[in-house]
Structure 1
Amino acid sequence: MSENTNILFDTLTTAEIDLANETSTDKEQLASQYNKDFPRDLPVGIRHLHFYLHRLARSRINLQDAYEFAIQYAGDISTLRLVHLSKIIKNKKPRLIYEFGADVSTLLMAQLIKPYGGKIVTFEQSPEYYDKFNSIFPLELKDSAEIKLCPVRLDWFGDFRGIYYEFSAPEHIDFVYIDGATRTRGNMESDFVYPRVNADIVRMQDSGTIVDYAVTDHRWANFLFYKESLSEHSVKPSRWWKSIIIKKR
């Protein structure tokens, strides 16, 4: 693993200690006061992490393409959630991860599971994004990650407009990360009234796939969808995510 690739994950997972000893910039101080995405009782280091990454990228290292890509898309997923996701992976040590939607989280999880031989399979629906993501994915992480271009279909699940990825699920998955679906407008007014949600965790469990642990992203549409659809499982709100954590019994 090259130093350039490692620096992103090292910074994310040790941010509380690293940044607690840093003198923050005026911009970071302002962000910690007014950014509502960060709970007030968190350490100052975490509240400053997002801005610190950008400062690090500009001033402390000659970045390779993979790291530039991660920084470019860092705004797509809350840095706070990346830190929390890393803690989940370190605690659970999943051998097989299924992820829906390739992003910075793919890089992070591939890095974290590599030392013990874990595998992440990520499904991406956009051909353009799939090509771009594969072109910059670090070679040293490709033995622990598989990015699949996967078609999707849209269907209704009760009152929810669901996105279903077309894939064959194994009998057992240790960890599922549901990243999406994006709230998009379509030709039907209902596509906006009922934001599209990712319904694959329900489909997998209905077909008999055992999922040990799963988390969704921060979208409220997914929160309501899974709360309604998986009420027989252990479902609880999480202060770290505007979403839910699902633990199958």
Structure 2
Amino acid sequence: MIADFIKGKRILLAALISGIAIAAIYAGLQYLIPDTQLYMLTGLLVAWLTGLLLLMWRELHVHIRKQTLERHRWQEAWDGIRDILTFYHPLPPSTTFTIAPDAALYLLRHIMKQQPRLIVELGGGLSTILMAKLIKSKGFDTRIITIESDAVYGEALRKELQQHGVEDLTDLRICPIEPTSLGTWYSIAGNMPKDIDLLLIDGPPKAVAKDSRYPAFPFFEKYLSADASVIADDADRPDMLRTISRWQQKYTQWNTEWVRLSRTIAVFRRG
């Protein structure tokens, strides 16, 4: 939403600069060309500027409308989350890096339906807290392993889990980003438990490396249970579209479902 606001201000600034530039050009041309030609040129410039302003206004309107719809969708999602969970402490603030509320609601409903016994999450945060609270409130026999690359962020997340009384339900592992045989990725030491029922891919950040989340499937595929689901967040990002395409080409036994939310997620299940 902040990005849309900034982009909208840039559109208005571009229109203002264009108007000033055209006015300056027009003022200079008055001394260089005859009046008749100047009138014709003035008409063309006015028509061009009017079209430019209308185009910019339309783009700004689209961004504002998109922002409003997204805010409304997120509010509905939070209402749905609060119908499922009760919060006694404030949650960490939402950012562009945290899971979107509508994706979080989808995740909670998926867990309630499937009741996975083992969840592995790449990239912790708000989703970790919500999943752990759901497991505790419903009494599910479910374990969560969260892989986080940043030690400082991981410690902050651990304190959040403590505050919400769910630290014991989450095995939070700090795995720095390092060169591995699969690429620049989490330095996961040793083997993971087998029979993972849900793999949530929401890390590492895309700034780490090109297609930074690609190694998730090659690494974890052998640990997934027969009925496992894999949920990839931010699936409509260009880097994730490339990554998912590579997964689909290599792991043909897995079917892909695209869930269109404020940020698209991809859900994989064996065919």
Match of 1:170 among 193, 196, 205: 193
Q: Does 1:88 align with 2:88?
A: no
Q: Structure 1: which 5+ residue stretches go unaligned?
A: 1-30, 39-43, 57-61, 186-190
What amino acid is the match of 1:222?
M
| Count of matched residue positions in the alignment of Structure 1 and Structure 2 | 193
Q: Determine if contact 1:163/1:198 at 8 Å carries over to the other structure.
A: no
Match of 2:152 among 128, 138, 141: 128
**Structure 1 residue 209: Cα displacement:** 4.3
Q: Distance in 2 between matches of 1:143 and 1:104?
A: 16
* CA offset digits 1:217-248 (Å, max 9, x no partner): 11432343133223331123222352421113
Q: What secondary structure, in the 3-state scheme, does the structure 2 residue paired with 1:235 have?
A: strand
TM-score, normalised with respect to structure 2: 0.60
**Structure 1 residue 126: Cα displacement:** 0.4
Q: Which has the larger radius of gyration?
A: 2
Identity of aligned pairs, percent? 17
Q: Does 1:119 align with 2:119?
A: no
Q: Distance in 1 between matches of 2:231 and 2:177?
A: 20
**Structure 1 residue 180: Cα displacement:** 1.9
Q: Does 1:226 align with 2:251?
A: no
Q: CA 1:32–1:88 in structure 2 vs 1: closer, same or farther (change >3 Å)?
A: farther
Q: What secondary structure, in the 3-state scheme, does the structure 2 residue paired with 1:197 have?
A: coil
Q: Determine if contact 2:193/2:223 at 8 Å carries over to the other structure.
A: no
Q: What residue number does 1:46 align with?
A: 73
What amino acid is the match of 2:254?
H
Q: What residue number does 2:225 align with?
A: 210
Q: Determine if contact 2:177/2:185 at 8 Å carries over to the other structure.
A: yes
What amino acid is the match of 2:127?
S
TM-score, normalised with respect to structure 1: 0.64
Q: What secondary structure, in the 3-state scheme, does the structure 2 residue paired with 1:136 have?
A: helix
Q: Determine if contact 2:147/2:174 at 8 Å carries over to the other structure.
A: yes
Q: CA 1:150–1:222 in structure 2 vs 1: closer, same or farther (change >3 Å)?
A: same
Q: Does 1:247 align with 2:263?
A: no
**Structure 1 residue 89: Cα displacement:** 1.1
Q: What residue number does 2:7 align with?
A: none
User: After TM superposition, what 4+ stretches of structure 1 lie above 4 angstroms from structure 2?
Assistant: 49-53
Give the number of the structure whose residues are more often helix, by fraction: 2
RMSD: 3.4
What amino acid is the match of 1:48?
Q
Q: What secondary structure, in the 3-state scheme, does the structure 2 residue paired with 1:246 have?
A: strand
Q: Distance in 2 between matches of 1:162 and 1:77?
A: 23
Q: Does 1:181 align with 2:204?
A: yes
Q: Determine if contact 1:134/1:147 at 8 Å carries over to the other structure.
A: yes
**Structure 1 residue 105: Cα displacement:** 0.2
